[in-house]
Amino acid sequence: MVAEHVQSMTKPLSTDPSLDPEPREECGVFGVWAPGEEVSKLTYFGLFALQHRGQEAAGIAVGDDDRIVVFKDMGLVSNVFDESILTSLHGNVAVGHTRYSTAGGKEWSNVQPMFGTSPSGVDIALGHNGNLVNYQELRAEAVERGLIKPQEESVSDSMCLSILLADGVSEDRSVFDSALQLLPTVQGAYCLTFTDGHTLYAARDPHGVRPLALGRLNTGWVVASETCALDIVGAQFIREIEPGELVAIDETGIRSERFAETKRHGCVFEYVYLARPDTNIKGRSVNATRVEIGRRLARQYPAPDADMVIPVPESGNPAAVGYARESGLTFAHGLVKNSYVGRTFIQPTQSQRQMGIRLKLNPLREVIEGKSIVVVDDSIVRGNTQRALIRMLREAGAAEVHVRIASPPVKWPCFYGIDFASPGELIANANPSDDPEEVAQTICTAIGADSLGFVSTDEMVAATQQPRNELCCACFDGEYPLGLPAGNPNAEAVRTLQGSTTN
C-alpha cells in the first residue's frame, strides 16, 4: 500500500495565561466504513459534532485499499478543511480526530491521526482519545525495538501507540492480531479508531473511561466518541463499544473480541461538563443528568431570598434549569456569550485583564441590576474566571451574587484525558481542611461571592444513575482506579499529598 500525506503547517496556538482556562477535554475520535459514500465528508461532519472535545487541531485519514491519505493541521475543523480538500479525499474508510494536547506538546507532529507503516508494508492511521499511564514503559519498548531514538522527546503517547501497533503487523500477523497483542499491555484511558485503508478498527480501554459509540448507516458503520456525532451523520445508535473490546468492520461485517476483562470506571466529568448535552452515555442522557444535578444542588444549597437563577453559558445551562425548577426561582439569561471567541495571540496588559472575560461573557444589566442572583456554573478550577465574573456582575448592578457549582470542588489533577491544573494551582486546595463547608467558604471569600455551594459527590453520582463503583471521580476524591503515571510531576505531587494524608 502506498501512503500519501497531505500536510500543511501553521503556527501553534497560544492561550491567555491571565484567564482561568476551562477543563480541556483532550480529543474526539470518529471512524466510518461506508463503501460508496463520501466518507471524508461524513468524518468532517462527525468531527464538527465533536469539536467541543478539542479545538487545537483536526485531521482525517481516508483509505481506499491502495493507499491512505492523511490531511491534518492546527486549528478548528472548519479552518483545516474545505470543500476542495474533502473532495480530494477518496475512499471507503476514514478515521478522524479533533485534539487538545496534554501528552505531547502543541507541535504539528502531534496532530492526529497518527500514521505508521509496518515492516511488511501495511500502513496504519490511528486516532486516540485519552492518556496512557504506562507511556514511559511503552516508549522504552519502542526505543528497545529501534522504532524511535532515545533522544526523541516529542513522541506522544498516541504516536507511541501507533508505532508499536504498526510494528506488530507482519506477513503472519494481521492488524487485528497486532492490536490484540498490544492492547493488553497498554494501561490508562484510551478510545481508538484506526484503519489499514481497508478495515475500520475501534478499541476501548478495559475501564471504559471515555465513551465510544457504535452506529449503523444504510451503507456502513460509524464509531464516535459521542452519540451526538452519530446523530449528525444520520447513523442509528446500536450500542457502546464495550470496555476491553476490539472491533473490526469491513465487507464481511463486524468482528469483535475481548482483549481484557471489563472493569468499568467511566469518567463522571463526562456527565458534568465534557460531553455535549445531546449525548447519551451508558443509556443516560447527559442533559437529563445535568438538570438533575441542578435539582439536587438546589436541595443541598437553596437560596430562598434570591430573585432569579442565571447560568454561565453554555455548560451551566442545564444545571441552572434544574436549580430553577427545584427552587421555584425564575430562570433568566443574564450573561451573553460570544460564540466566536477562540484563543488569541494578543495578550492583554495588566490593566486589560478584565477584557479577557468580557470577550467571552458580558452581563445584561437590565436583567440583573438590583437583583439577588444565583449563578450556576459547571465547575471551579483555579477560580480566576469566577472571580472576574462576579466582579463584572457587581459592576453591572447585581445586589447579591450567590454561586452554585454543579460538581464538587476539583482537588486533584486528571491523568486520564482532561487537562486540569497541578494540585497547587487548584483553588480547592487553598484550604487543606477535610470539611467541605470550610473549603467552600475559603473559595467563596477568594472569588468574592455572597455565598457558594458545591453539589456533593454522592448527589452528583446519583444524578448519573450509574453505580458509584463504576465511575471514576478521581479529580474530586483523589482515588485513581487506573493508577498514576511514572515520571509525571503532577503525579509525583499527588503521591506526596496522598502519602501525607495517609500518614
Residues labelled catalytic: 27
Distance CA 431, CA 496 (A): 17
377 is in an annotated binding site: yes
Residue among 279, 267, 262, 211 nearest 241 (CA): 211
300: cell is 443541598
Rounded Cα–Cα distance for residues 303 and 491 (Å): 38
What's the residue count for the chain?
A: 503
392: left (phi over 0), alpha (psi -120 to 50) or beta: alpha
Question: Is 475 a known ligand-binding residue?
Answer: yes
Q: Evaluate the omega torsion of the peptide bond into residue 211 and state whether it is cis, within 30 degrees of 0.
A: no
502 contacts: CB under 8 Å, gap ≥ 6:
none
Q: Is the dihedral of CA 138, 98, 103, 472 positive or negative?
A: negative
191 belongs to an annotated ligand binding site: no
State the Cα–Cα distance between residues 389 and 334, nearest whole angstrom: 12
- Sign for the CA dihedral angle at 195, 196, 198, 202 comes to negative
The DSSP secondary structure of 344-356, one letter per residue, reads -SPPPPGGGHHHH
Q: Which cell numbers hold the place of 303?
A: 437560596
Report d(CA 30, CA 212) in Å as an integer.
Answer: 9
Q: What is the DSSP letter of 173?
A: S
Instruction: Count each helix (H run) and each strand (E run) in the chain, helices first.
Output: 17, 25
372 is in an annotated binding site: no
Prior bond of 413 cis (ω within 30°): no
How many Cβ atoms sit within 10 Å of the Cβ of residue 336?
13
- Which positions make up the binding site for Mg(2+)? 315, 377-378
- Which positions make up the binding site? 267, 315, 377-378, 414, 472, 475
